[in-house]
Structure 1
Amino acid sequence: MGSYEYDDAFESAVVSAINLVRQVVAENEDEEPPPRGFHRRVVIDMRREEAEQRFMQDYFVDAPTFNPRQFRRHFRMHKGLFLRITERKYRYFQQRYNGAGKLGFTTIQKCTFAIRQLAYGLASDQLDSICTCRKELQESHSNIFV
C-alpha cells in the first residue's frame, strides 16, 4: 500500500508543478517583450601591424631574435620550409580586407597561426590571445627579471 501513496503524492506534485508553469506563462503573456535595439559590435584593436613587426623582428630579419634552432622548436619545421609554404600563393593565406574595410592578417601571420594550431593542437582563440598578449607580458614583467 505504501507505493500507491507514493505514486499519488508524486502525481500530485507533478500536476501542481504543471499548473504553476501554466499560471506563470499566462501571466507573462500579457507583458510586452523588451524592445530589441540596435547594438554595435565591440571592436577589439588587435594591433596587427605591431604584431607583424615583432614577428618579423623575431624570426625574419638579418639578425633575428630567435636563431634557426629556436625557430624549428617553435614551429616544428625548418625556416626554409616555412618560407616555401608562405611563398606559394595559397588562396587561404592571402591578405584581404575584412568586413570593416581594414586589411586583415598578412600571409605570414595566417600561416603562423595555422602551423602553430596544427603543431601544438591549440584552438584558434588561444593563439589569438597568445600573439596579442606577448608584448604586454614582456613590458609588464620586464622589471621582475632585472
Structure 2
Amino acid sequence: MEDYASSSSGDSISTEEIEMNNAVTSAIVLAASFLQHVANPPRPVYQRVSVERDRAVANERLIKDYFDPVEPRYNEASFRRRFRMSSRLFLRIVQDLEREKSYFQQRCDARGRMGFTAI
C-alpha cells in the first residue's frame, strides 16, 4: 500500500482519510475475490449411488452351491478345477483366517447390517 502521509501538492492527508482509503481498497479486493469465486464456482459434490445387494441370499447360494453337506450343486471335482484346491483345504484356510485376522471376521457395517462372510 502507498503511504498517503504527503501528497504531491504539499497538502497533508489526515489519518482518517488514510484509514478510509485503506478500508475502501480492502473492500474492493474482497469484492474482486468474491466475483472471481462466483465466476468460477467449485466442483459440484456428487453423492454416491448405493447398490443394494442381498448379501444373505448370496451367501446362502454360495454355501448351497459348493459346501452343502447333503447335495452340493457342484461336486468336489468341479470345485478343485475352479479353485485349484480341495474344498476341505479351502474351508481350513478360511477358518484359520477368521481366527487369526479380524479383517476376515463377519461383523456389522455402519448401517447395522451383517457384512460379507470370509467365504
TM over 0.5: yes
Q: CA deviation at 1:71?
A: 0.6
- The Cα offsets for residues 74-93 of structure 1, whole Å up to 9 and x where unpaired, read as 11111111111122213221
Note the C-alpha offset of 1:73. Answer: 1.1
Partner of 2:58: 51
How many aligned positions are there? Answer: 80
TM value normalised by structure 2: 0.57
1:95–1:34 Cα change, 3 Å = same
Q: Can you give the 5+ residue segments of structure 1 that lack an aligned partner in the other structure?
A: 1-27, 109-146
Matched, 1:77 2:85: yes
**Residue equivalent to 2:6:** none
Partners of 1:86 and 1:105 in 2: how far apart? Answer: 13
Partner in structure 2 of residue 10 of structure 1: none
CA distance in 1 between counterparts of 2:40 and 2:61 reads 53
Name the Cα RMSD after superposition.
2.4
Residue identity opposite 1:65 in structure 2: R
Q: Which residue of 2 aligns with 1:91?
A: 102
Percentage of pairs with the same residue: 41
CA distance in 1, matches of 2:73, 2:43: 54
Measured in 1, the distance between the counterparts of 2:118 and 2:43 equals 43
Deviation at 1:36, TM superposition (A): 4.8
Q: Looking at both structures, which has the greater relative contact order when contacts are Cα pairs under 8 Å and sequence separation is at least 6?
A: 1
Matched, 1:41 2:48: yes
Letter aligned with residue 64 of structure 2: Q
What amino acid is the match of 2:54? Answer: R
CA drift at 1:53: 1.1
Counterpart CA distance in 1 for 2:40 and 2:62 is 53
Residues of 2 paired with 1:48 and 1:32: CA distance? 43
Q: Does 1:101 align with 2:112?
A: yes
TM (norm. structure 1) is 0.47
**C-alpha displacement at 1:101, in angstroms?**
2.6
**Rg bigger for which structure?**
2
CA distance in 1, matches of 2:112, 2:103: 18
Q: Which runs of 5+ in 2 are unaligned?
A: 1-34
CA drift at 1:35: 8.3
